[in-house]
Each structure stands twice: as C-alpha cells, then as structure tokens.
Structure 1
Amino acid sequence: MPRRNAFKPLERKKPPFEETPRTYERAHWVKPEIIVEVKFNEWTADGRLRQPIYLGTRDDKSAREVGRESQSMQKKTGRKKVAATKPASDSASKSKAGKRVNAARSLLERDTEPKPSRGHALPPGELVRRLEEIEESSGSGRLEIGSNTGIELTNLGKIFFPRKKLTKGDLMRYYVTVAPFVLPVMANRPLVLKRFPNGVKGEAFFQQNASATTPEVVRTAMIEAKGGSTNRRIVGGDLPTLLYTVQLGAISVDPWHSRLQSLDHADYTILDLDPGPGATFQRVMEVARLVREVMDGLGLHGHSRPRVRAAFISICRYPQTLPTKPLRSPRR
C-alpha cells in the first residue's frame, strides 16, 4: 500500500463522493489523487468492486487515462501464484490434518473426515474453569482440551469489548459454551477469519490462509484455486480449531457456503438486506418477509434474522446438487 505519509497531506473530514458509501469500519477520507492498480472478482449490481485486491501504486498514470474495465484484467490474464510450502517429514505429513482439495473444484483426495480423536474432550464446564484459571494467573498458558490435545493461549486478559469490559478470555469461554451448536455448522468448511488483535475498537483484517506456524492440532486443507494457486486453509469442525481462531483474535469467523466434499456446490446462501438512501429499516423488514414467502414457495425453507448495523439477513438452505457459480450473479 502507499506509505501512510503519502495520505497525510490528502486528508479531509468529509468523503469526496456525492453519496457517502457505507463502511463497516471507521473511514479515513482523503482527496482522490493517488492512482492504484487492483484486481477484483466482479462489479456488484450497484456499481462497486467485489473483493478488490491492491496490487500497487501507478505513478505512471494520470486520472484521465483511467477508465472502467468491464472485468479485471489481472483476473483475465491470470497471474501465476506459487504457494509457499514448508518441508515436512513423511510422518508429519501423515499426521497433518491437511487434505488437498481442488477448488476448480473437485476433491482430489477423499480424506475429508475429522482427524482421529486424541482423547475425550473435557466437559465445557471444566474447560471454562481452566480458562478462568489461566486468565487469572498470567493470562497465558496451555489449555488441555483432551487427554492428548491442547493449544497454547496468550493475553486472555486483553480487553476485546471495551464498553462491557469483556476480555479475550470471555470470548473464548463463550465459544467453549456454544461449540456444540456451531461446530456442526462449520464442519468441513474452509473458514475466513476477521481478526481484531486489539479488540473491536482496534484495526481489523481478514485472514483466509493458514500460516506456516499453524499448530498441527488445527484442521487445515490444501485448496487449489482456478488460477492454479494453492493455499492451505483453516477448516472448521472441532474445538481446538475453533479456539485457535479466537487465540488469533478472530471475533468474526465466516465459514464457506460449501464443504470440502463438494466445494463447487453451496448448501446454503445468505441474502444480506441493508438499509440505505431510499430504503428505510421498515422497508428492509418488508423485503425480508417477502423473501421468506418466495423461498417458502420454492421449497427453499430459510429464516430471517436481524443483525448489527440495522440490517437483516435471510439464510436459505440449498440442495447439494445446486452449483455455486450461478449463485454469484448479482440480482436486483
């Protein structure tokens, strides 16, 4: 990204747009003078880039030379990416939770079952008690989840939710309590983490790939994308993996809409209904009810629920024979 000192002279209090765009984090507005190159997935129905990725600053271009591309040039030419892999011994590779999956998308190896148990998991109440002990002592330590399974934890006393003084340890104990309900939903789904290492008021960033230091106890899978790049992803389904995401500071953990066994076939989708100019919250509620009626009429039974920032989402389950690709086309 351009250096921060390049933005400083361009700072302004108000957005340089006729219509203020909706942001999910606090925005820092600047004069639109720096030209950058990005690749992206597609244009949304309201004319915005979906999944833009910064590639570099273009000092060789003027703003008048830049026009709207109908599709990403980088996506069309397909820059090659080589995934970094660390060497592993035969015994380590056999015990590793990773499975190679083709996200173009077919399963290359059908080893998609959860890893063999390394001992019975302790009851949630006992895990909550041990987490409290770790937080009250040094805030860091090893949590033994089962007889032969554990993860290293740090900074459990760090405040994650300032308004209610809730800590990283509180968040971890919450996930231990709800794990029996969320783990089946996340099972065998690659995860996208939104990490808040300094709490909800700090800067956040997304993580999709597992790092080279990911513990062996965490479930992962090798996924090959359409462009040929191969990345190791964190995969949901067990308690050590879930608690590891919290250890990383992930407050929001979003599972893929498909599972490892059928990456090309989503088994549910989310319709995100947000209020905005000309669309009041009352109107959003009406649309949510209409969406529910249409889904019921099609035999696609889902449910609508409110969420933060005065929005509704409708969750709709699909038969596994429905391919993912058509679901990506924007519809008004």
Structure 2
Amino acid sequence: MSTLDRYREKRDFSVTPEPRAELVEAGGDRLSFVVQKHDARRLHFDFRLEWDGVLLSWAVTRGPSADPSEKRLAVRTEDHPVAYGDFEGTIPEGEYGGGTVMLWDSGWWEPLHDPAQGLKEGKLHFRLHGARMKGGWVLVRMRARKGEKRDNWLLIKERDDFAGRSADALINRHRTSVSTGRAMRAIAADKPAADPADHGKPRPRFHKVQLATLKNAPPGGEGWQHEAKFDGYRCLIALGKGGARLYTRNGKDWTDRFGALCASVTALPCDAALIDSEVIAGGGGGDFSSLQKALKSGGPLTCYAFDLLHLDGKDLTLQPLSDRRAALERLFSGLPPRGPLRLSPVIEGEGAAALDAICQAGGEGLISKRRDAHYRSGRSSDWIKSKCIRRAEFFIAGRAPSDKRGRPFASLLLGSHEAGRLVYRGRVGTGFDADDFAELNAALDSITRKTPPFDGDLPPEADGAQWVTPKLVAEVEYTEFTAEGRIRHGVYKGLRQDKEASNVSAKAEAEIDSDATIGGVKVSSSDRVVFPDAGLTKGDVARYYEVVADRMLTHVADRPLSLLRCPDGISGDCFFQKHAGKGFPDGIRSIPIEEKDGGTEDYMYVSTPGGLIGAAQMSTIEFHIWGAARDRLDRPDRMVFDLDPDEGLDFADVKRAAGEVRAALDACGLASVPMVTGGKGVHVIVPLRRISEWDSVTYFSRVLATIFATRDPARYTATMSKAKRKGRIFIDWLRNERGATAVAPYSLRARGGAAVALPLTWDELGDLERPDTFHPADVEARLDRPCPLDQVEPRGIGKGAVRALEDLSKS
C-alpha cells in the first residue's frame, strides 16, 4: 500500500489540475518544504514537509505565526506527492479541496532529529530555510480527546533571530505568491504572473560569459570548486525594471523560448540581478536531444544557476568566486529544491574522484573553477572542463546523398574553423529521426552551394556531396578523432541554435583525443607538450619513466612519496600531492600513516613500473620520496644534505661545498654519494643501515650542518631564512625529519630544459661544469652502468659516528 493512496482516492485527475500521485526518490541533501494558502470551504494554510518520497501535510487553520507565544492548530492530512510543491491554481468547485491555491512560501527544511522517530513520538523539531518562514520551528501532537478522529498538532515558532512579536504579522505582510507574485483573486481569475516591473533597480545589460578550457582531466589540489557539466543551453538571466530577459551565451534574447522559467525568475527576492546558468530539459535530468524537443513543444525546463555577476546594482565580477557563490546561495535560499530554478550543486572532494563519480552515473562531465578567481569574459584556465562523453560542435558543410527510400541524405559532412582555415572533420550518419531529417533537409535546401567550403584536398568519402554554406551548427557525439583529425562513429544530437558557425572549433577536442598505451598504461593526451623548450610531450614523460623504471624503483619503490603534478605542463600551475584520490591508476597505492597530531592519513607509494607510468598519466613530473620504506617507517635508510646556493654563487662553489661535506662524513665513518638535482644545487646522499630512529638521524644532520655554519659563517648557513642565505650556501638538513621528502634519484624536474636528478661518482661531479647537464636521453645512455648509490656500503649512525661528530664540533 502506498502512502499516497488516500491522496489518489480523493481526486479525479481528469478534472482537477493537481499533480498525480507519484512517489519520488530523494532529490539531494536538501528536503523541500512548501506552504500553500488554500481558499477552500474555509481559508487555511497547508504546511508540507518532504520526507520519504512524499510531502507530509498539515492544515494550519489560522496560518503560521512567527510569535513564539502563539500555538497554531495544525491538522494532519493525507500525504501529498512532492510535485504538489509547485502547484498553484484553482481546484474546480465540487472537487475535493475545491478553491484557489497560492504558493505562499517554499524552501528547504533541516530536521534536528530523526523525522521518523519524531512522527512516531509526536514531536518534530526542525529549521526552515524559506523565503518567509525561517529559523527554528516545532510541530507537537496534541493528545486526542475521546471519540476524536482528527490528528491534531500544534505549529510553534522557536525564540530566535527570526521570531516576531505580533501574532499575524507574518501572514498579513505576505499576501502574494512567492512564485508568481499574484494575489488570490489574480490566481482565481487565471491572470498571468504579476508585473515584473516591481523590481526596483535597472536591469543589468548582457555581459559576455566566461568559458571553460577543455582538458583531459580535472585539476588537482585545493582551491578548486567542482560542478557537474550540464547538457543544455547556456543562459544569462537579467532581472530588474521591465522584468526578466534570458539570453544565450552569444547575447541572443531567448526570453520567449525560455518563457517557462520567467515566473520563477521574477519571483526572486531582489531588485536586480545578472545570473549565469544552464537550461536543460525536463525535471533536471534531460539530455540535449530532449531539450531540443522541449523547446519546440513547450515542455518543462529546468535552469541551474552557478554564478552571480550583479546583484541589486552592485557589480560582483571582480569578487572571487567564493564570494559570488555565497551571494547566489543567499539569493536562492528560499527556492524549492525541485523547482524550475535551482542552484548548481558543488561537488566536494578531489577533481578526479568527482569526475569518476559523474561518469559512472552517466553524466556529461565536470566543470572545475578557481575559488579565488574573478569572473572573466571569454575562455580562460580559471575554468576547466573535463568530459565523460566525447562530444563537440561542428558546422555542417554538406550532405551525402542516400540511396535508401524515405531517407533524404545518408550523412552530414562536418567541419570546423581552425586558425583561419576551414578544416574537414568527417561525417555523421546516425542519430537522426524523422523530425530531424525533415528539419535538416529544409534548412539545408536554402543554403546550397556548388563548391566545398574547405581548404585543401578532401577524402574520397566526400565525393558526390551536396555542399552547403557553413551556417548551421550540429552537436555530435563520437568515439574518437582519427590521426587525420576526423571523428569516428559520430552520432547526431541536434542543432545548436545558440552558437555561430564562424566560432566553431574542434581543435581542443582533437588534441585531447590523442591517447597512447605505454607500459600497459593508457596515457591520455600523450602528444600534449609538457616541456615547451625541450619539446617533450606527456607521452615522452611516461616513456622516460618506463625506460628508467627498474633503476629508479631501486630508490623509490615502497616509500611514501609526494608527486609534483603539472596538468597544463611546466608553464602552467603545478602542485604537490601526497594523498591519492579516486580515479588514480591502480599502480598508485596507498598506505595509512600516523601523523604528528595523532591522526592517520593515507599516503601514496609505488612499487611497479606501472605505478611510475600511472603517475605520469596523472601529469606527474617529479617524484619526491621519504627517507624510509613502508615496512619500517620508523627507521630511515638514507640521510640527505641539500646544498642550496644563493643567487650569484656559481657551481664551483657548490662542488667545493659538497666535497667538504663528504670529507666530514668520511671522518664520521659514513660513505656518501653526490646527486645533481637538475637545478642549481647538489644533494649529498648517505645510505644508512636501519639501526637509528628519526630523532637520531635528524639530530646528526642538524649538528653537522650547524658545525659548517659556525666554522665558516661567511660561506654557510644552516637556517632556512632567505635573508641569512645571501652570499651563502644553505645546508638543508630538514630533509631528514620524519615526513619530509627529497627529490628522487632519476626523477625529471619541472624546469625549462627537462633536466634529471642524477646520482654521480665523486670524480664525475668534479669534472662537471653545470648542475643541469643531464636530460632523459643522457640518462638512458647511462643505464648500462651501475648506479653510484648502489656502489657504497650503507653504515649506521652508531656511537663511533656520534663521537666523531663531537670531535668535529670541537676542532
């Protein structure tokens, strides 16, 4: 038995305009509430809370009161469908509940305990976030009198910032619909929505919209806000004196086409606004084809708002996104969660995990936005889009004739504008229904031409085509771009009437679609240039790590590590990441590690070539490793002294310093190996036996560095301070603390020449003229020689080493 059976039994849906009885699934993390002013046999207010797929309903005889001393009778009635929350109109006389219904308030409610338990025990405590009813409220069931059949409750306002002191001020102050602005008489007379000229400030002008840059993966790191990519039309909403105007991304006024949204827009509680949004079909889940049909038939539309450019005369475009979003949420706070006008949900967590979740759910993709960025017209890297489905816009250049009866053409020939040229992009022959054929054939007949619009030679598949002037834009789904830059297995999705053919480019999609399999790992966008100066691509980086994997894993495998990721190449923004996210390749594994504050975090490690290549697929350039392996994290097996010279010192100064550190370590019985880091410094690495804990290794390295700084303060410093480093070499001993990392041997560096961090012999270091000499090809040529780090015997920091260190400090 359904909880909506009583609702269904009381109504004749062939007569009443009320929605049919349908249970719905949860619509997100916000539960809707609605209050409807109902002029039936007796005027009352219907108070409804969404729960378990329906609207729990109470008839409040005298209406809600914001005065906490007022206890308003609320009679429990039958559950209503969630769709009833949008209903406003007149129920015919003679029908159950006959009379006028006004949508008096709507928003979302926040249960303060388990609602199921509260219904059972007779007390519901909650907060309301509506346009009119706000703050804490409670519903309390009254004890039934003998023979009484009604389920009577009391609706009571809590004492908080939203409480009032007048019993009926709330219902007397608000006498019009929260949705259409109409009074009860206007609703009964079926008059249109109230005059939108009530908005008191001038309507903002159209503003060129911000566009996202297509990337193969979302950006990582903090500072980004992620939202679902919708499959619809971009819409810029302008509201103010004179009402609402709804524009396409190119500034076309589509207020008439998006007319179903105007009532909700004009009901927004502001004097003026400029809102960036996306319009899609139906109740929030329609695709682009459904949207095309909805626009033609006048079907329902849903608008997801995601940015606020102006509010009540104030320009917000120079404010960071985080502030604009907060203002938009305040403006939309009273709207029903499932209404035609909604907030675009923000997806929490790391971008890769968010994209993975959307793709698994069959979504379109992800839009990632910098939280600290201003709103900028045009395309920028502040907004990044990454797609689940490969889809792009192309202009229609012609049609291939069909030999099948009833089919006016076999396929459409497609193109795009690239750097002033018109480029052939292949054809699409599926996805058309009868209406599509009729619409396209009529439109193409009016723009025919004799010659192809393309520059250059065309493939044989274009022979015999009927050419047209490139004015129409088609949206097409496809499996991939071929090496020639043409789509494969295209499926027609519809015409884009909001975009000009002269602006259509598929360059980004074609570049993204350059995948390669390297070492058994799929590497996307393998031909994207990562090192512009060196001309190395993402695929080159992955192939380098495939080649050096066996050598590199000797020093990297099974250690907690940090990855330096550069999704846009080294000329873009790079960031460190030490915790793996969802969507990372299987070769990147995680290990729980207890941190200083007592909490536990999952750190990354790799143990196979696939792990190194998988990290390169995630746009990793550099690997930085702990000084201990995961099987004994408390016992480091290496000690590192990073010799970091101040600007102005040359490499000869660094080599001399490395030699002096080596001599001091030799005096303590510890063998060492130099490693050029690919930058201006040198690491002196000491392989250790695992007999000492972190405190001992940290103490030893700090004392040794301090000895040098004390003995020769004009040349050395053991302090990180930039001011104290002037003209000196900083002996960085901090790499030897638990949790600290140092660049891994054989790691690439994210610097102009694509240099590599490479271990050397001491003789090789002496002969070296520059620290950034070695590049991927040089390293590959050395792999038939032993690694210098494997040629020294690890030793422990025992009593003898400590005594020798004490002697050094006294000398």
State the Cα distance separating 1:216 from its structure 2 match.
Answer: 3.6
Q: Which residue of 2 aligns with 1:311?
A: 681
Does structure 1 conserve the Cα–Cα contact (< 8 Å) formed by 2:662 and 2:684?
yes
Q: Which residue of 2 aligns with 1:71?
A: none
Local SS of the residue matching 2:533: helix
Does structure 2 conserve the Cα–Cα contact (< 8 Å) formed by 1:139 and 1:156?
yes
Aligned partner letter, 2:657: V
Matched, 1:205 2:575: yes
Aligned partner letter, 1:212: K
String of CA shifts for 1:267-300, please: whole Å, max 9, x gaps. 1122111221685543322111011122223222
String of CA shifts for 1:45-68, please: whole Å, max 9, x gaps. xxxxxxxxxxxxxxxxxxxxxxxx
State the Cα distance separating 1:322 from its structure 2 match.
Answer: 1.5
Q: Tell me which protein shows more strand as a share of its residues.
A: 2
RMSD of equivalent CA atoms: 3.1
State the Cα distance separating 1:264 from its structure 2 match.
Answer: 1.4
Does structure 2 conserve the Cα–Cα contact (< 8 Å) formed by 1:264 and 1:325?
no
Q: Which residue of 1 aligns with 2:477?
A: none
Structure 2 unaligned regions, length at least 5: 1-221, 225-348, 354-480, 485-512, 707-811
Q: Which residue of 2 aligns with 1:325?
A: 695
Does structure 2 conserve the Cα–Cα contact (< 8 Å) formed by 1:267 and 1:317?
yes
Q: Which residue of 2 aligns with 1:259?
A: 629
Aligned partner letter, 1:298: C
State the Cα distance separating 1:160 from its structure 2 match.
Answer: 0.7
Aligned partner letter, 2:527: G
Against the structure 1 CA distance between its residues 241 and 290, is the aligned structure 2 distance closer, same or farther, given a 3 Å change threshold?
A: same
Matched, 1:140 2:510: no
Against the structure 1 CA distance between its residues 240 and 211, is the aligned structure 2 distance closer, same or farther, given a 3 Å change threshold?
A: same
Separation of aligned partners in 2, 1:246 and 1:2: 22
State the Cα distance separating 1:141 from its structure 2 match.
Answer: 5.1
Local SS of the residue matching 1:274: strand
Separation of aligned partners in 2, 1:217 and 1:2: 27
Separation of aligned partners in 2, 1:135 and 1:292: 56
Does structure 2 conserve the Cα–Cα contact (< 8 Å) formed by 1:218 and 1:244?
yes
Give the TM-score normalised by the residue count of structure 1. 0.54
Does structure 2 conserve the Cα–Cα contact (< 8 Å) formed by 1:159 and 1:199?
yes
Matched, 1:248 2:611: no
Higher relative contact order (CA 8 A, sep 6+): 1
Q: Which residue of 2 aligns with 1:187?
A: 557
Q: Which residue of 1 aligns with 2:800?
A: none
Separation of aligned partners in 2, 1:2 and 1:218: 23
Does structure 2 conserve the Cα–Cα contact (< 8 Å) formed by 1:295 and 1:302?
yes
Aligned partner letter, 1:200: I
Matched, 1:218 2:588: yes
Against the structure 1 CA distance between its residues 252 and 188, is the aligned structure 2 distance closer, same or farther, given a 3 Å change threshold?
A: same
Does structure 2 conserve the Cα–Cα contact (< 8 Å) formed by 1:135 and 1:169?
no
Q: Which residue of 1 aligns with 2:566?
A: 196
State the Cα distance separating 1:177 from its structure 2 match.
Answer: 0.7
Against the structure 1 CA distance between its residues 203 and 304, is the aligned structure 2 distance closer, same or farther, given a 3 Å change threshold?
A: same
Against the structure 1 CA distance between its residues 278 and 172, is the aligned structure 2 distance closer, same or farther, given a 3 Å change threshold?
A: closer
Separation of aligned partners in 2, 1:250 and 1:199: 10
Separation of aligned partners in 1, 2:613 and 2:649: 39
Q: Aligned to 1:283, which of 632, 653, 674?
A: 653
Separation of aligned partners in 2, 1:279 and 1:193: 29
Local SS of the residue matching 2:656: helix
Separation of aligned partners in 2, 1:298 and 1:317: 13
String of CA shifts for 1:202-261, please: whole Å, max 9, x gaps. 111000001122344432212221313222222122111111111111111012110111
Separation of aligned partners in 2, 1:263 and 1:295: 24
String of CA shifts for 1:10-67, please: whole Å, max 9, x gaps. xxxxxxxxxxxxxxxxxxxxxxxxxxxxxxxxxxxxxxxxxxxxxxxxxxxxxxxxxx
Does structure 2 conserve the Cα–Cα contact (< 8 Å) formed by 1:191 and 1:254?
yes
Does structure 1 conserve the Cα–Cα contact (< 8 Å) formed by 2:565 and 2:618?
yes
Separation of aligned partners in 2, 1:170 and 1:136: 18
State the Cα distance separating 1:142 from its structure 2 match.
Answer: 5.2
Does structure 1 conserve the Cα–Cα contact (< 8 Å) formed by 2:584 and 2:618?
no
Structure 1 unaligned regions, length at least 5: 4-82, 87-133, 146-150
State the Cα distance separating 1:191 from its structure 2 match.
Answer: 1.3
Q: Which residue of 2 aligns with 1:165?
A: 535
Q: Which residue of 2 aligns with 1:177?
A: 547
Separation of aligned partners in 2, 1:301 and 1:232: 33
Does structure 2 conserve the Cα–Cα contact (< 8 Å) formed by 1:184 and 1:237?
no
Q: Aligned to 1:153, which of 498, 510, 523?
A: 523
Does structure 2 conserve the Cα–Cα contact (< 8 Å) formed by 1:135 and 1:157?
no
Separation of aligned partners in 2, 1:158 and 1:194: 18
Against the structure 1 CA distance between its residues 135 and 179, is the aligned structure 2 distance closer, same or farther, given a 3 Å change threshold?
A: farther
Separation of aligned partners in 2, 1:315 and 1:136: 46
Local SS of the residue matching 2:607: coil
Local SS of the residue matching 1:152: strand
Against the structure 1 CA distance between its residues 182 and 275, is the aligned structure 2 distance closer, same or farther, given a 3 Å change threshold?
A: same
Separation of aligned partners in 2, 1:200 and 1:252: 11
Aligned partner letter, 1:165: G
Separation of aligned partners in 1, 2:482 and 2:606: 25
Against the structure 1 CA distance between its residues 195 and 2, is the aligned structure 2 distance closer, same or farther, given a 3 Å change threshold?
A: closer
String of CA shifts for 1:83-115, please: whole Å, max 9, x gaps. 99x9xxxxxxxxxxxxxxxxxxxxxxxxxxxxx
Separation of aligned partners in 1, 2:591 and 2:483: 35
Worse-superposed segment, 225-234 or 178-187:
225-234
What is the count of residue pairs matched by the alignment?
200
1:10-29 matches, within 5 Å, as: none
Local SS of the residue matching 1:258: coil
Aligned partner letter, 1:169: G
Against the structure 1 CA distance between its residues 273 and 136, is the aligned structure 2 distance closer, same or farther, given a 3 Å change threshold?
A: farther
**Matched residues, percent identical?**
27
Matched, 1:234 2:609: no
Local SS of the residue matching 1:164: coil
Q: Which residue of 1 aligns with 2:668?
A: 298
Does structure 2 conserve the Cα–Cα contact (< 8 Å) formed by 1:304 and 1:315?
yes
Separation of aligned partners in 2, 1:235 and 1:290: 34
1:104-119 matches, within 5 Å, as: none
Q: Which residue of 2 aligns with 1:94?
A: none
Q: Which residue of 2 aligns with 1:269?
A: 639
Against the structure 1 CA distance between its residues 313 and 208, is the aligned structure 2 distance closer, same or farther, given a 3 Å change threshold?
A: same
Aligned partner letter, 2:672: G
